[in-house]
């Protein structure tokens, strides 16, 4: 047993009296109900409240990362041990882009770095479930070998609005893409024998006032859009735990909401696992427990007292108390810590870095590539003028609990150099000096302070002209970061700053005058305004927050080592004002969305809106270029038991190897104005196809995905009539259509 644990065990032993061990049940050896019968009320209540640090002040600030220093320092929390019954503490740690624990510990020179993988949005852009599962497997192995039992991931809230500060931790504006890839992530992590926590359940779609905001949403919209990714993940991957969200839903905190946690999650979806709060989430510990929230994390002394008093005065029945105790014990039994797995504190950071790099490259989305600017031919364009602070200070991920303590970050400059390109050393020095000076001048940032990114460096025309004369081509990186606790802004965030606009304009003018090309790289946490400037550069590549190997992954795409195959998992609108939820999102101008947010747009989120109302966008959902082209043919639609099987043949009709994402959208027989014209109901990605090579792709759509939620009847119904199927390369780019009468 790990020595830390034994110390903790001793100090906890005293709390529960020194009953001799020989005549009492032991977890794992005796049936759980015997364990529960042998527990005192104190022990039961103690188990429901996380074992925050003993000296946890009840008014601890919202910063929670790295909270516990016990057992695995830097984890987010632990549960309480009850040694006399052989119940150990288990360890819970973040997060969605990799395990987050302290990289160093007092008293040892050993390090405990974890791999920073691409963020969820980047993984979603791969549209490749097996690949996402392989990333999950790598994260799960690090979780296991560092002694953590539950990884507090994945997060799969719908991207209702492009400015939500945590969108980078989420997958998509579409519930099928989000649900299928969330399932793959959970399967990948849990195949290591550790657990996950599917979060944040539910409707946590903004960071502003996240612990108090009341989401007002109609039942069919909640179920068909916002809960659907969770339902798919629960039914298809069985996460060990679910994390309830901070916000209220239709007046009740999610963590106190029995409609969510009991009726829907358990009775309708059949979930048998445990629900925990988000850290310090909710208000009323008794209501939370009664509603079906079993574990209060990270745990505060006052919660213990409130629950104990409620049991003593009959407000909390022992039946409900035992229900949560049972779920917690059933969880503990599954954990490596209970099974005394002898974790090594050794992980294969080299192999996992390779996985991270490969996933990052596959998630990159090529938005523009005029006159085959890319891939670069080193014999023609070996000297690159590298502009933009993010070229030299590449952003691997977002801030908050979704960050990772990684050993390094490969910048684009380093990635290009390793790929055999040279860039102008003088220009690099200018940037490095500026970045250091400006970064040093930033005020000390607390964990939950808004993220700060230094302003883009202004460059003189003379300097840009000089670069245009001596370098073969230009690369400009625009960077954006966001994080937990804060939503993004429009100015200098969604919109490019004046300096960034001028940089693109001046570099394009200077290099185009010399007949040389310009590529823009978007190292971004999410959607940016692109319409006003996208005509200028010759190529645009979305790199996202691509993890610690980001610079190498961009180089792999620029050199053609990897053909881009990413597709946008959310729409890139022309203007922020075009976003259907723009008037109901808590921005400076919309104070009314601070305390409660009306989801008045209904199902019309993302492409469901733009596609249905023919609203022009800058780049549509599911869009992404390749270095090759693909032709579609041989469509067949068959119904087999409770699945509709769509298959078609894809041929690589270009002259480079590549992968294609086949997207199947469906329009329903009923023309109901509450519903979008068509919705994504399935997708599949080909293997790498060589020029001329073909692959038959089959997409399975469960009939349950073709049902509508009938609010009056309170159940799902399959509309009768003819369904139309669209086999597309993006939501706007239809390649094959067919009909089927269900
Ligand atoms: C945070 C986040 C949640 C995270 C937890 C533990 O506030 O909302 O995603 O897992 O607390 O750090």
Whether residue 8 has pLDDT greater than 80: no
Identify the residue whose C-alpha is closest to ligand 1 atom 4. Answer: 401
Spatial separation of the C-alpha atoms in residues 712 and 281, rounded to whole Å: 32
Give, as one character, the DSSP assignment of residue 734.
Answer: E
- pLDDT class of 451 with cuts at 50, 70, 90: confident
CB of residue 68 inside a 6 A radius of ligand 1: no
Whether residue 426 has pLDDT greater than 90: yes
How many Cα atoms within 13 Å fall on the side-chain side of residue 348? 9
- pLDDT class of 137 with cuts at 50, 70, 90: very high
Tokens representing 210 are 């996240």
CB of residue 199 inside a 6 A radius of ligand 1: yes
CA of 316 to the centre of ligand 1 (A): 27
Identify the residue whose C-alpha is closest to ligand 1 atom 8. Answer: 278
Whether residue 668 has pLDDT greater than 70: yes
Contact between 570 and 618 (Cβ < 8 Å): no
CA of 280 to the centre of ligand 1 (A): 9
Identify the residue whose C-alpha is closest to ligand 1 atom 5. Answer: 279
Q: What is the pLDDT of residues 303-342, one digit of tens each?
A: 999 999 999 999 999 999 999 999 999 999 999 999 999 9
Ligand 1 mutation target, pool 400, 405, 487, most atoms within 8 A of CB: 400
- Percent above pLDDT 90 for the chain: 89
Whether residue 16 has pLDDT greater than 60: no
CB of residue 76 inside a 6 A radius of ligand 1: yes
- pLDDT class of 587 with cuts at 50, 70, 90: confident
CB of residue 157 inside a 6 A radius of ligand 1: no
Averaged over 553-582, what is the pLDDT?
98
CB of residue 256 inside a 6 A radius of ligand 1: no
Averaged over 504-523, what is the pLDDT?
98
Phi first, then psi, for residue 27 (nearest 5°) are -55, 135
Identify the residue whose C-alpha is closest to ligand 1 atom 9. Answer: 401
Burial of residue 732, with CB atoms counted within 10 A of its CB: 0-12 exposed, 13-18 middle, 19 or more buried: middle
Task: Please name which of 151, 275, 129 lies closest in space to residue 202, comparing C-alpha atoms.
Answer: 275
Whether residue 1 has pLDDT greater than 90: no
Give me the pLDDT at residue 703, please: 97
Residue partners of 532: CB distance under 8 A and separation at least 6: 496, 501
Identify the residue whose C-alpha is closest to ligand 1 atom 7. Answer: 279
Angle at 14 between CA 13 and CA 17, to 5 degrees: 90
CB of residue 278 inside a 6 A radius of ligand 1: yes
Catalytic residue IDs:
278
CB of residue 291 inside a 6 A radius of ligand 1: no
CA of 56 to the centre of ligand 1 (A): 17
Distance, CA of 589 to chain centre: 28
Residue-averaged pLDDT of the chain: 93
Contact between 622 and 567 (Cβ < 8 Å): yes
CA of 401 to the centre of ligand 1 (A): 6
Q: Which residue has the tokens 């624990």?
A: 101
Whether residue 15 has pLDDT greater than 50: no
Ligand 1 mutation target, pool 484, 485, 486, most atoms within 8 A of CB: 484
Nearest atom of ligand 1 to the alpha carbon of 485: 7
Contact between 360 and 548 (Cβ < 8 Å): no
CB of residue 100 inside a 6 A radius of ligand 1: no
């Amino acid at each position: 047993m790990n020595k830390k644990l034994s110390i903790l065990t001793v100090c906890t032993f005293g709390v529960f009296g020194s009953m001799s061990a020989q005549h009492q049940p032991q977890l794992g050896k005796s049936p759980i109900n015997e364990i529960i019968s042998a527990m005192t009320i104190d022990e039961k209540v103690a188990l429901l409240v996380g074992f925050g640090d003993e000296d946890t002040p009840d008014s601890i600030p919202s910063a929670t990362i790295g909270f516990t220093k016990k057992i695995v320092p830097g984890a987010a929390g632990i549960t309480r041990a009850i040694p006399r019954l052989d119940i150990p503490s288990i360890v819970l740690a973040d997060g969605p882009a990799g395990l987050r624990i302290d990289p160093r510990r007092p008293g040892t020179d050993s390090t405990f770095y974890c791999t920073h993988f691409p963020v969820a949005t980047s993984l979603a852009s791969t549209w490749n479930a097996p690949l996402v599962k392989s990333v999950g497997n790598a994260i799960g192995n690090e979780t296991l070998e560092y002694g953590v039992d539950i990884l507090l991931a994945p997060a799969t809230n719908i991207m209702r609005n492009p400015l939500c500060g945590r969108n980078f931790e989420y997958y998509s504006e579409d519930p099928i893409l989000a649900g299928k890839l969330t399932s793959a992530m959970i399967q990948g992590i849990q195949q290591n024998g550790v657990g996950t926590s599917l979060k944040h359940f539910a409707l946590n779609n903004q960071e502003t006032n996240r612990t108090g905001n009341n989401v007002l949403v109609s039942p069919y919209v909640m179920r068909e859009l916002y809960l659907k990714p969770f339902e798919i993940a629960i039914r298809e991957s069985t996460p060990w735990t679910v994390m309830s969200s901070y916000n209220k839903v239709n007046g009740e905190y999610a963590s106190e909401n029995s409609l969510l946690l009991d009726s829907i999650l358990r009775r309708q979806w059949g979930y048998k696992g445990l629900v925990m709060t988000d850290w310090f989430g909710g208000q009323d510990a008794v209501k939370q427990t009664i509603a079906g929230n079993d574990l209060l994390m990270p745990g505060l002394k006052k919660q213990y007292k409130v629950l104990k008093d409620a049991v003593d005065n009959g407000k909390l029945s022992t039946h409900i108390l035992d229900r949560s105790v049972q779920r917690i014990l059933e969880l503990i039994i599954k954990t490596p810590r209970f099974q005394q797995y002898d974790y090594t504190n050794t992980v294969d950071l080299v192999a996992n870095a390779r996985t991270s790099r490969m996933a990052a490259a596959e998630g990159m989305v090529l938005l523009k590539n005029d006159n085959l600017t890319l891939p670069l031919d080193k014999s023609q364009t070996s000297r690159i003028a590298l502009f933009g602070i993010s070229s030299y200070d590449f952003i691997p991920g977002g801030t908050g609990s979704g960050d990772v303590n990684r050993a390094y970050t490969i910048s684009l400059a380093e990635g290009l150099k390793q790929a055999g390109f040279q860039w102008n050393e003088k220009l690099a020095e200018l940037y490095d000096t500026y970045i250091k000076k400006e970064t040093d001048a930033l005020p000390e940032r607390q964990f939950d302070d808004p993220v700060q990114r230094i302003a883009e460096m202004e460059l003189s025309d003379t300097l840009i002209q000089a670069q245009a004369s001596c370098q073969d081509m230009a690369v400009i990186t625009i960077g954006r970061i966001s994080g937990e606790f804060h939503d993004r802004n429009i100015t200098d965030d969604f919109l490019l700053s004046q300096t960034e606009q001028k940089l693109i304009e001046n570099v394009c003018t200077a290099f185009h005058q010399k007949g040389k090309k310009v590529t823009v790289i978007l190292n971004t946490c999410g959607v940016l305004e692109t319409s006003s400037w996208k005509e200028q550069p010759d190529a645009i590549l979305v790199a996202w927050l691509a993890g610690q190997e980001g610079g190498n992954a961009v180089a792999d795409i620029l050199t053609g080592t990897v053909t881009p195959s990413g597709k946008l998992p959310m729409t890139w609108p022309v203007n922020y004002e075009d976003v259907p939820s723009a008037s109901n999102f808590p921005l400076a101008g919309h104070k009314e969305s601070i305390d409660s947010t009306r989801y008045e747009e209904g199902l019309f989120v993302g492409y469901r809106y733009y596609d249905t109302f023919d609203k022009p966008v800058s780049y549509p959902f599911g869009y992404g270029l390749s270095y090759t082209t693909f032709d579609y043919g041989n469509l067949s639609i068959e119904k087999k038991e409770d699945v509709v099987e769509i298959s078609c043949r894809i041929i690589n009709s270009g002259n480079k190897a590549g992968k294609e994402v086949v997207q199947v959208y469906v329009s329903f027989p009923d023309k109901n104005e509450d519903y979008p014209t068509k919705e994504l109901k399935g997708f599949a990605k080909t293997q790498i196809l060589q020029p001329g090579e073909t692959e038959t792709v089959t997409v399975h759509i469960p009939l349950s995905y073709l049902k509508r939620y009938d609010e009056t009847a309170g159940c799902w119904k399959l509309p009768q009539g003819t369904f139309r199927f669209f086999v597309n390369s993006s939501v706007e780019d239809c390649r094959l259509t067919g009909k089927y009468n269900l």
